[in-house]
Chains A and B, each alone.
Chain A
Amino acid sequence: MTPPRKKKLNLKKRYELMTRGLDWETSYQKMDDVFPYDTFEGIKITDWSKWEDPFRLTMDAYWKYQGEKERKLYAVLDSFAQNNGQLGISDARYVNAIKLFLTGVTPLEYQAHRHFAHLGRHIRGVGPRVAAQMQSLDELRHAQTQIHTISHYNKYFDGFAEFPHMHDRVWYLSVPKSFFDDACSAGPFEFFTAISFAFEYVLTNLLFVPFMSGAAYNGDLATVTFGFSAQSDEARHMTLGIEVIKFMLEQHPDNLPIVQQWVDKWFWRGHKMLGLVAMMMDYMLPKRIMSWKEAWEIYFTEAGGALFEDLSRYGLRVPKYADIATDEAEHISHQNWSIFYQYTQAAGFHTWLPSDEEMAWLSEKYPNTFDKYYRPRFEMWREMEARGERFYNNALPQLCQTCQIPMGYTEPGDPTRIGFRSTEYAGERYHFCSDGCKDIFENEPEKFSQAWLPVHQIFQGNCGGAELSDVLEWYHMKNGTDNMDYTGSPDQKQWDAWQSVRKRVAG
């Protein structure tokens, strides 16, 4: 017998009392003076009271559930640390994916915390204001749980120690950093569109779901736990993203072209940034869940397809260049891993060439592209390694002015030719990897012409010196420890020593 469900104050009523009921119209000061940032972008809102959080989560319930999540999470993290959980991972190579994830993402969580705190103060409507306050706390929690994970791995593996310092300086970490700097320096509605909609709703599944499932598959209890705990907040963030888009489109028809341009911009920026995750999934996990291409099909083509079909009733269309991004899902992981292999001397994690078994998996998952375009390159590099001539690219790469990724991507429809675009602004020429990145620049040249590009900064003498060793020192990367191939690394020596003890004990 199940006891009858208890009656209590109805959820809708409680939400109304605990959000709208706590808000007021200011009278000593003009509302426009109290909320000075929510009009300059040109988004017209006629009735803020039309906003409703579909989860109807109030602060009291928020504290209750978040408190429970935290208790569970820290019990697992503590147990992972106490029981030497790092010994149970599939292979020490795996940790390199976590190095990239944690050094790239953790500072973004903190940036998100700060900016949602700003929105939690500055959005006129109480519904989204409360949602932003909750999200600000969520993001701080995510940063903290990830730093706790870093602190454990940092005791046993290289590459984690200087993560906040590295985030502001290292060439590939400038990709996620510039993405977030761009969003945080935009107005509140663009930030919502960038982070809550394009990133959280449309793309974050690609980052968290298959990757955390990958962590589960590779025995990384710490990452699975913070990942899924963070992701449980993500569902709420996704509803904020979709609600904000619908709200803007419902409030005034003039909002559509502004929103469409933001959706186009942030979809493309997100697609480029997540190319790093593509490489982690296809090349860095010793045991793989699904290929990047499969994840793209599930989470963008299928889920995004349903989403944009739904939003078409407001006149919103699928992001510009979505077809090109889908085409690039066949290439992006291979091209990115190639970039990191060539520049292993300047990476804060270890690289390697895929084994025969891994190449067979890549052939199977990428029947249209891997054997034809990428296997020959990896096999050539493998032969070079065997001859003692491991290939290092010692030239500094040209970077795309918008996404800041080295220009290693190929033309849509022709994977044998490097894509290259340029434009002039105020007497200077700027370079891009793609039409998508060039469009973004041309819409906001004043902003993007000021981008802090790591390679330009090295050439200008702002990064510690002219030699690689100077730059690594300026990055706080230990040469011969944090960088270079996995084979021969201190990480590998340590792991092999652990494994040999295990074999000896097992007899």
Chain B
Amino acid sequence: MAGIVSITLQNNDEARPVIESILHDNPSANANYMPGAVKIDCPERLVVKAESVSARIGRDWDPQEIHLTIVSMGGSLDEDDEELVLSWGA
């Protein structure tokens, strides 16, 4: 199980386009739904792309908006204007 990175988001209207984008942009990602939240696991690396989320919501999405819906995470994070990346070994 080593090397899994993970992000948990609230399962609400605001987070849904983010969840969709993650699952689209990370083909190996796996979503585990629980009441109120969803935990997305991915081997090695997981990316949240601002472009993908923006395309889904029809407006500019700032990666810092993740602060409104994130519940938890596993891995080392790196964030800039375009994306938010979780990985190990960074």
Give the chain A neighbours of B64 by CB distance below 8 A.
Answer: 11, 55, 57, 61, 65
A63–B35 Cα distance when bound, in Å, is: 29
Size bracket, chain B contacts? 35 or more
Contact across chains for B71 and A305 when beta carbons are under 8 A apart: no
A222 at interface by CB-CB < 8 Å: no
B26 at interface by CB-CB < 8 Å: no
Contact across chains for B70 and A5 when beta carbons are under 8 A apart: no
A236–B70 Cα distance when bound, in Å, is: 9
A310 at interface by CB-CB < 8 Å: yes
Indicate whether A235 sits within 8 Å of B73 (C-beta atoms), given known contacts A2-B55, A68-B68.
yes
Indicate whether A306 sits within 8 Å of B5 (C-beta atoms), given known contacts A5-B54, A213-B37, A239-B77.
yes
A89–B86 Cα distance when bound, in Å, is: 36
A residues 36-90 near B (Cβ < 8 Å) are 54-57, 61, 65, 68-69
B36 at interface by CB-CB < 8 Å: yes
Residue ID in chain B nearest A304 by CB atoms:
B74
Give the chain B neighbours of A23 by CB distance below 8 A.
Answer: none
A residues 239-258 near B (Cβ < 8 Å) are 239, 242, 246
Residue among B1, B58, B67 facing the most chain A CB atoms (10 A cut-off): B67
Give the chain B neighbours of A309 by CB distance below 8 A.
Answer: 2-3, 88
A379–B73 Cα distance when bound, in Å, is: 41
Smallest CB separation, B6 vs chain A (Å): 6
Residue among A2, A6, A246, A305 facing the most chain B CB atoms (10 A cut-off): A2
Indicate whether A232 sits within 8 Å of B5 (C-beta atoms), given known contacts A11-B81, A54-B76, A55-B79.
no
Residue ID in chain A nearest B63 by CB atoms:
A11
Contact across chains for A238 and B69 when beta carbons are under 8 A apart: no
A238–B58 Cα distance when bound, in Å, is: 31
Contact across chains for B2 and A5 when beta carbons are under 8 A apart: no
Which of A204-212, A322-330, A494-502 lines the interface with chain B?
A204-212
User: How many Cβ-Cβ contacts under 8 Å join chain A to chain B?
Assistant: 120
Residue ID in chain A nearest B86 by CB atoms:
A54
B residues 1-49 near A (Cβ < 8 Å) are 1-6, 8, 10, 34-37, 39
Contact across chains for B79 and A69 when beta carbons are under 8 A apart: no
Give the chain B neighbours of A57 by CB distance below 8 A.
Answer: 64, 67
A359 at interface by CB-CB < 8 Å: no
Contact across chains for B67 and A238 when beta carbons are under 8 A apart: no
Residue ID in chain B nearest A311 by CB atoms:
B88
Give the chain A neighbours of B69 by CB distance below 8 A.
Answer: 232
A303–B32 Cα distance when bound, in Å, is: 14
A175–B51 Cα distance when bound, in Å, is: 47
Give the chain A neighbours of B73 by CB distance below 8 A.
Answer: 235, 238-239
Give the chain A neighbours of B8 by CB distance below 8 A.
Answer: 205, 209
A2–B65 Cα distance when bound, in Å, is: 18
Smallest CB separation, B69 vs chain A (Å): 7
Residue ID in chain B nearest A298 by CB atoms:
B39
Give the chain B neighbours of A55 by CB distance below 8 A.
Answer: 64, 67, 77, 79
Smallest CB separation, A157 vs chain B (Å): 22
A56–B84 Cα distance when bound, in Å, is: 11
A217 at interface by CB-CB < 8 Å: yes
Give the chain A neighbours of B68 by CB distance below 8 A.
Answer: 65, 68-69, 232
Contact across chains for A5 and B4 when beta carbons are under 8 A apart: no
Residue ID in chain A nearest B51 by CB atoms:
A5
Indicate whether A213 sits within 8 Å of B3 (C-beta atoms), given known contacts A11-B80, A68-B68.
no
Q: Number of A residues contacting the other chain (C-beta, 8 Å)?
A: 49
Contact across chains for B35 and A217 when beta carbons are under 8 A apart: yes
Residue ID in chain B nearest A9 by CB atoms:
B81
Give the chain A neighbours of B88 by CB distance below 8 A.
Answer: 306, 309-310
Contact across chains for B35 and A11 when beta carbons are under 8 A apart: no
Give the chain B neighbours of A56 by CB distance below 8 A.
Answer: 79-80
A208–B72 Cα distance when bound, in Å, is: 9
Indicate whether A306 sits within 8 Å of B74 (C-beta atoms), given known contacts A228-B36, A232-B67.
yes
Contact across chains for B4 and A306 when beta carbons are under 8 A apart: yes
Smallest CB separation, B33 vs chain A (Å): 10
Give the chain B neighbours of A307 by CB distance below 8 A.
Answer: 74
A205–B37 Cα distance when bound, in Å, is: 12
Contact across chains for B78 and A2 when beta carbons are under 8 A apart: no
Give the chain B neighbours of A446 by CB distance below 8 A.
Answer: none
Indicate whether A212 sits within 8 Å of B36 (C-beta atoms), given known contacts A65-B68, A231-B71, A306-B4.
yes
Smallest CB separation, A131 vs chain B (Å): 13
A238–B5 Cα distance when bound, in Å, is: 14
A456–B2 Cα distance when bound, in Å, is: 45
Give the chain B neighbours of A6 by CB distance below 8 A.
Answer: 60
A5–B79 Cα distance when bound, in Å, is: 16
Contact across chains for B72 and A236 when beta carbons are under 8 A apart: no
Pick from B51, B72, B77: contact of A231, CB below 8 A: B72
A228–B69 Cα distance when bound, in Å, is: 8
A3 at interface by CB-CB < 8 Å: yes
Give the chain B neighbours of A5 by CB distance below 8 A.
Answer: 50-51, 54, 60
Indicate whether A205 sits within 8 Å of B67 (C-beta atoms), given known contacts A2-B54, A54-B78, A213-B36.
no
Smallest CB separation, A286 vs chain B (Å): 13
* A-B residue pairs in contact (CB < 8 Å), sample of 10: A61-B64, A65-B65, A205-B8, A210-B34, A215-B36, A231-B72, A242-B76, A289-B34, A290-B34, A310-B76
| Smallest CB-CB A-B distances: 5 pairs | A216-B36, A216-B35, A217-B35, A54-B77, A235-B70
Other CB < 8 Å A-B pairs besides A205-B8, A215-B36, A289-B35, 9 of them?
A2-B55, A11-B79, A57-B67, A209-B34, A213-B34, A213-B35, A289-B34, A306-B74, A309-B88
